[in-house]
Structure 1
Amino acid sequence: MFVCGWPITLVLFRLFGPATSFPFSTNTPAPPLSSQILPPSTFPSNHPSLPSSLTLSPPISGPKEPEERVHCPLTMSPSSLVVRFGDPVAVNCSLSETGSSLVLGWAVQQDFQQTTVDSFLVWTLDRMNSWNIEAVCFALLEVEGQCQMNLPATVYSPPDSVSISFVDHSGPMSEGRPYTLQCKVQNVAPVKNLTVTFYKGQTALGQQQSNNTNKKPVSETFTLDIRPSKEDDGVQFWCEAKLELGPEGPKPPPVVESQKLNAVVFFGPHLICPSKLKVKEGESFPCEVKGKPRPSVTWYRDGQVVALPAHSNRKHAGKYTIWTKGLGQKNFTVEVEVLSGRGTTNCYTTYIPVAVLFIQMIFRL
């Protein structure tokens, strides 16, 4: 076991090599957590020399699997870092076993920021200004030697804006034809954590994600193919972009919604009427032609333009052709059969006065 009184300067020289400048403005000692004491800023100089047989190598940020796994009694709080670009950072690295370490330190971006002989050390930044951060907490143990723990880090930025539109189309749509919705997301990071959802009203139409692994902000466009129906006339299409950053991320996750896109769908003409129609005498034909724009409708019988009867009778039976013109031109054929007996409406009209007269006669008796 090594003597804890060796000169710390020699330990640092063998451990770190020549000093390099740190790219962040965080070279000042980190403030302590509420329940901790700051490590000493100076170290004793009257300690015995470090044995010449001790050789140390600086920690590396990339993962490397040793032949024999070294017990590393390090813990981090938080265990992973999720920070918005420009926000402050504070991560505590501590030893879970006291009295086992000669040196504890943080290495960030391959430059060593801080070291201590205490059992904990807080790495802090006033402002996160890097999109690809690499931070490692390391320790020189008395028995096991050197060990380290990488800090998983995600630097994020919600989208600046989200918008929705149609690809190469503006104005009304026609039912049954293919169209492509596009959702544009501006300046988001990391885009691989982004989920884009398309909506029709409050109904989700589909979700999409990006395969882009760029950690810096990028802009991407997501598309969805649709075929509108007449029921879609007047609905609103929109999309939302959500950053899914895991359990260490903000709650709720950052979400940015697009504007609502009001859909206008041209459809028809559609004939609302059975092809074989049965009506009673005295009834009208319950036929209607719907469409947008409103179609013009002309009824033919035996090649002649006819008006629909308000009160049908036997002579109105036969084969009718309906010519319509709206979004397109369509012709329909309806065979009408008129049944004997008065229609419902006319029956009520006849029997009500008779019933009233009958009641009056009873009261006179």
Structure 2
Amino acid sequence: MLLVWMLGFLMLIFSVCAGFPFTLTPSEMVVRFGDPVSINCSTSATDVEGMGWEAPFGGTGFKPPPVVTWRVEKLEEWAPSPFCYVTLVDGEQYTAKPDITVYKTPDFVSVSDRGRGPMVEGREHDLKCDVINVAPVQNLTVKWYRDNETVQTETFNDSTMTPVNASSSLRISTQRNYNGLTFRCEAELHLGPKGPKFLPNVTSPPYTAVVLYKPFLEACPDHVTVVENAAFSIDMLSCQPDGNPPPTVQWFYEEKLINPSKSLTRTDSGKYTAVVENSLGRSDTSVHITVEFSPSFTCKEHYEITVNDKQQSTCEPVGLPTPTLTWFKDGKQVVSPQRWKKNDSGKYLLNAHNTHGTAEHTLYLDILYAPEFKEGNESKEVLQENKVGRNTRFITLMITGNTSKVLFPAIWALLALLIIGLTLLMVYFHNRQKKRGQYSFVPVCQMSNIAQANGNA
């Protein structure tokens, strides 16, 4: 039988060259291993004695023309070579052979990391795709996918027709954003236009990448402005720690470790630094936080102010943004003077306002100023003492107000006047004593009263 088959193959080559009118339907076919096969062989020649099919696994025997059919219920040959032969009445014989491709999809396809474990950012990593028991391998294409993106395609040149195992490798330059992505490979059999309408393919289960990488904080703002009474804390920032293994996070304020869940107050404005760390390294990120708050007053209710002092030193509100301060007196808004005057004493209402609220404060101001002589300077002519007697009148000078500021200058001025006055009187009465009588001396500040007394006498 094998000899007959080989002889038929040689006759096929000859018949093709000779151009004998054979028709094979179909002349080319792709069939899956184990599926049924049916091919018709026909001829238009009239001098045919008989025809038939020869195959290592069974033929049809010698049949009358013009058509003979080769049929197999279950094709289990990897390289089938049936041929149709025609014997003419003169004994000459011709053959024709169909082109048959038998294929088999893989039993399974898988992806592995070859036991190397997780990927590490910045290092190269290899994945392996195993395609088990596929034929024919020369028609095999392996495609690699990262998620749904094709990243590599590989074909094979092996001409083996029987099933074999094939493998493909994918080298990855690992990036941190590959963590959690899926890699998969797909085995496709490209069988030409005579093949199945849809490519026979088998896809591996997904391989989920685990990438180890240094930690960092993402979505962290450079500056944040918050309000004191909004119960804001550091852990409410949009900062999200990222890293694998999962990092630890610590927050520092002025180089001191803090509790990030504590609500911030007006004294907590400043620069905050987060330190994230895992086994691969650490990084830090800074955020400047401004805590704004509504106005308030910490002033006293009563102030004594020396005349010509600046108003701004009296009572200033606190608040952020800096409040606008308005002064009211007797229900009317007043323009703040550059310096206080003695007639500015009284009750004031202070109103402070910013974007977060308003505060008021009642203030009593007492403007202090040095004593003044309301009358102009006077000169009095004083009569001598006469034989009848003398009269004396005392004047008391009262100093009120802030004695620490006006008492000592007034005393020194008074002493200077007394000394000058006594000196002048002594000279005067000394000169008068040369003429007659006896005299008594009193301070010049009492002269006007003495003169008045003498007049009354």
1:60 aligns with: 9
Counterpart Cα distance in 2 of 1:236 and 1:259: 9
Say whether 1:248 aligns with 2:194. yes
Counterpart Cα distance in 1 of 2:11 and 2:45: 27
In structure 2, do the counterparts of structure 1 residues 99 and 22 end up closer, same or farther at CA, with 3 Å as the change threshold? closer
Amino acid at match of 2:284: F
Tell me the TM-score normalised to structure 2 length: 0.52
What SS class does the counterpart of residue 97 from structure 2 fall into?
Answer: strand
Counterpart Cα distance in 2 of 1:90 and 1:69: 25
Counterpart Cα distance in 2 of 1:87 and 1:333: 66
Say whether 1:160 aligns with 2:115. no
2:215 aligns with: 269
Say whether 1:132 aligns with 2:84. no
In structure 2, do the counterparts of structure 1 residues 69 and 353 end up closer, same or farther at CA, with 3 Å as the change threshold? same
Query: How far off its partner does 1:270 sit?
Result: 1.4
Counterpart Cα distance in 2 of 1:65 and 1:316: 98
Structure ID, larger Rg: 2
In structure 2, do the counterparts of structure 1 residues 287 and 83 end up closer, same or farther at CA, with 3 Å as the change threshold? closer
Percent identity for Structure 1 against Structure 2: 28
Query: How far off its partner does 1:64 sit?
Result: 5.6
Say whether 1:174 aligns with 2:126. no
What SS class does the counterpart of residue 222 from structure 2 fall into?
Answer: strand
- Matching of residues 13-162 of structure 1 within 5 Å: 58-60=7-9, 69-95=17-43, 97-99=44-46, 101-108=48-55, 114-139=61-86, 147-162=94-109
Query: How far off its partner does 1:218 sit?
Result: 0.6
User: Structure 1: where are the runs of 5+ without partners?
Assistant: 1-18, 24-56, 355-365
Higher helix share goes to which structure?
2
The question of whether the paired residues in 2 share the 8 Å contact of 1:233 and 1:263 is answered with yes
Say whether 1:332 aligns with 2:281. no
Query: How far off its partner does 1:105 sit?
Result: 4.0
Amino acid at match of 1:289: P
In structure 2, do the counterparts of structure 1 residues 181 and 157 end up closer, same or farther at CA, with 3 Å as the change threshold? same
The question of whether the paired residues in 2 share the 8 Å contact of 1:21 and 1:111 is answered with no
The question of whether the paired residues in 2 share the 8 Å contact of 1:85 and 1:155 is answered with yes
The question of whether the paired residues in 1 share the 8 Å contact of 2:12 and 2:96 is answered with no
Amino acid at match of 2:130: K
The question of whether the paired residues in 1 share the 8 Å contact of 2:11 and 2:93 is answered with no
Amino acid at match of 1:223: S
Tell me the TM-score normalised to structure 1 length: 0.63
Structure 2 residue corresponding to 1:279, chosen from 224, 231, 245: 224
Structure 2 residue corresponding to 1:317, chosen from 254, 270, 278: 270
Query: How far off its partner does 1:245 sit?
Result: 2.3
The question of whether the paired residues in 2 share the 8 Å contact of 1:92 and 1:122 is answered with yes
Query: How far off its partner does 1:265 sit?
Result: 3.3
Amino acid at match of 1:152: D
Query: How far off its partner does 1:103 sit?
Result: 4.7
1:214 aligns with: 160
Counterpart Cα distance in 1 of 2:78 and 2:211: 45
What SS class does the counterpart of residue 60 from structure 1 fall into?
Answer: helix
What SS class does the counterpart of residue 138 from structure 2 fall into?
Answer: helix
User: Structure 2: where are the runs of 5+ without partners?
Assistant: 295-319, 322-353, 359-457
The question of whether the paired residues in 2 share the 8 Å contact of 1:291 and 1:327 is answered with no
Per-residue Cα deviation, 1:192-227 (whole angstroms, up to 9, x for no partner): 122223334444433322221100111111221234
The question of whether the paired residues in 2 share the 8 Å contact of 1:266 and 1:327 is answered with no
RCO higher in 1 or 2 (8 Å CA, sep ≥ 6)? 1
Amino acid at match of 1:331: S
Query: How far off its partner does 1:69 sit?
Result: 5.0
The question of whether the paired residues in 2 share the 8 Å contact of 1:267 and 1:327 is answered with no
Query: How far off its partner does 1:316 sit?
Result: 3.5
The question of whether the paired residues in 1 share the 8 Å contact of 2:59 and 2:70 is answered with no
Query: How far off its partner does 1:289 sit?
Result: 2.5
In structure 2, do the counterparts of structure 1 residues 338 and 90 end up closer, same or farther at CA, with 3 Å as the change threshold? same
Query: How far off its partner does 1:266 sit?
Result: 3.3
What SS class does the counterpart of residue 186 from structure 2 fall into?
Answer: strand
What SS class does the counterpart of residue 192 from structure 1 fall into?
Answer: helix
Counterpart Cα distance in 1 of 2:248 and 2:52: 83
